[in-house]
Structure 1
Amino acid sequence: MAATPVLTRPSARRQAAPARSARRPEQRARLRRRNVWIYAFLLPTFVLYGMYTLYPMIASYWYSLVEWNGFTADQRFVGLSNYRAVLADPMFWSAVKITLVFMLIVAPLRVFGAFFLAILLNSPKLRFSGFFRTMYFLPVVTTTAIVGVVMRFVLDPASGPLSFLSQLLGMGPIDLLGSTSSALATAGLVYVWKFFGITLIYWLAALQTVPRDLYEAARIDGANAVQTFRHITLPLLIPFLLIITVLTVEDCFHAFDLMQTMTAGGPFFSTEIIEIYIYRYAFAATIPQLGFASAAAVLFGLLVLVVVGVQLWATMLARRSGARA
């Protein structure tokens, strides 16, 4: 026998409505108290971020318009003179060239090297894949300045392990960081090793988005590993390739700590990237020129925006062409 539905009387609904409305102010008050604690814990982060990140960024625009050594209170407004001086300095354009060359050395090795290694580590047939992933990621959590100091010792031509090994093999001492032809490439390879794990994690996360059903269907249809990679894995990872490339290229512009501890811009300014160029005028000079250095920093920021903008424009064109296809 079917159960008779129980109907709520209008009087009961009217009694339940005030109870719910009475609970709503209590819920709002409890939510406000919770939000107060959330913002209270976030407040130190906001304050420190504003003091040490936002304020210096905003102040650098003003400093780029004045002549100031950073020690006195006298700030003489000079307008765009600092920008004209920076653009007329051949060392600035040399630093721009070195920065771009460094990016062209590092970015392809990180993006494509990590891609092929991620393919291997993502294979279910590989044993101890978790151990290998950890080993490749360990340099990322190491302080960059410490890595630079240690690698400078390792590559030291007088007492470094690499030079000692080369002498045992009868090759003589090797001075990779002391030669203008090899210093930038050597620092770039160390940078790739240091941050290789980040790009590897990006690719491993991208590979997890590929459905396993497609691999099983391809195996049932008789496709080999090369065909599966070409027709399934590669097309699905192209959007991730564009994103990872943008992130990696932008990261290559921030190599100050490693380059400063390894070469300090030498030998003969052959590894002086823009960040070291700015540091030299702002802090390392006998009489600092903070206005000149701030103008160089603003121009460096514009360079990064241009490079990232070109990449985003290329990304949109690639997506549109892919959608049309």
Structure 2
Amino acid sequence: MASQTRQRRRNLWIYAFLMPTFILYGVYTIYPIVASYWYSFVEWNGFSAEQRFVGISNYEAVLADPLFWSSVRITLLFMLVVAPLRVFGAFFLAILLNSPRLPFAKFFRTVYFLPVVTTTAIIGVVMRFILDPGAGPVAAVVGWFGLPPVDLLGDSATALVTTALVYVWKFFGITMIYWLAALQTIPQDVYDAARVDGAGGVRIFRHITLPMLLPFLLIITVLTIEDCFHAFDLMQTMTAGGPFYSTEIIEIYIYRWAFAASIPQLGFASAAAVLFGVLVLVLVALQGWATLTSQRLRSQSTEKGRA
């Protein structure tokens, strides 16, 4: 009986320490999500107390807006540029940095990971200065060669690719860490046995490393794709969706209608946010499928390795 009393007291202390987290999470995460569903069915500017129920009119207006579909297309193009570069570029870099014969491997891992821990908005502001065609370092270097200045962020043909490459550089390190962690799961005795059998580096990479990393490819790819849908802070600080909406991803589209418009339309923006959330839920479902598939492939590859 005394032990049960002590256990209950211990549980009460645990709940007491967790309560601030529950409250903050509910106020700043759960409530805004639930409220956005309600706002998507009303016409509201965010300032007045009046909220007029309009049903699915906001959804119809969003789906009929060409700029919404343009933002969807731009978001997908951004993802198609970023995801392959991060996944496969980080894979080959992780292979190099995982080699025990590479000198200063830990130093290079730290260098590549440093941009990840740097504030994204700060990187956006700094990169905007670096790429400034009038006074930035890039313009100075181009001027040394007698070439005309290039406005990479001011040209709709290059702005999206430029921001995508900066985004790849910013989060390249986290994808590299994923691959390094995956490489650590391959038993060293498998490599040793292959070398004893006379297998060279190419054959080991082709017949051992690649098959055993295949399950992780699905998870890392889905995680990277999902991460590509959260580039608001970098894109907002670098281009704010311009020029001429050429870099307006879905998040900036929502932000523009909710906060940057002359007359904010919280209901319209909430409807766009709900549709964006549906897209993210599809990715979450895809991530769950990738996790189950990778576990099955992992178990199959382990059984083949034992055989």
TM value normalised by structure 1? 0.88
Between 190-199 and 35-44, the greater mean CA deviation after superposition: 35-44
The corresponding residue for 2:191 is: 215
1:38 aligns with 2:7: no
CA distance in 2, matches of 1:117, 1:216: 22
CA distance in 2, matches of 1:321, 1:150: 43
Equivalent residue in structure 1 for 2:260, among 269, 284, 289: 284
Equivalent residue in structure 1 for 2:217, among 234, 241, 256: 241
The corresponding residue for 1:232 is: 208
The corresponding residue for 1:57 is: 33
1:93 aligns with 2:69: yes
Q: Unaligned regions of 5+ residues in structure 2, if any?
A: none
Shift of the alpha carbon at 1:40?
Answer: 1.8
Shift of the alpha carbon at 1:310?
Answer: 4.7
The corresponding residue for 2:234 is: 258
Flag the structure with larger Rg: 1
Equivalenced residues, count:
301
CA distance in 1, matches of 2:24, 2:109: 34
String of CA shifts for 1:262-316, please: whole Å, max 9, x gaps. 0000000000000000000000011100000000000111122234445655776
Residue 162 of structure 2 aligns to a residue whose secondary structure is helix
The corresponding residue for 2:167 is: 191
String of CA shifts for 1:71-104, please: whole Å, max 9, x gaps. 0110100000000000000000000000000011
Q: Unaligned regions of 5+ residues in structure 1, if any?
A: 1-24
String of CA shifts for 1:170-224, please: whole Å, max 9, x gaps. 2221211011111001000110111111111111111110000010011111111
Q: Which amino acid aligns with 2:247?
A: T
Equivalent residue in structure 2 for 1:161, among 98, 122, 137: 137
Task: Return structure 1 stretches of 4+ with deviation > 4 angstroms.
Answer: 310-325
Map 1:1-325 onto structure 2 (within 5 A). Answer: 25-310=1-286, 313=289
Q: Which amino acid aligns with 2:117?
A: V
Q: Identity of paired residues, percent? A: 73
Residue 266 of structure 1 aligns to a residue whose secondary structure is coil
Residue 127 of structure 1 aligns to a residue whose secondary structure is coil
Shift of the alpha carbon at 1:320?
Answer: 7.1
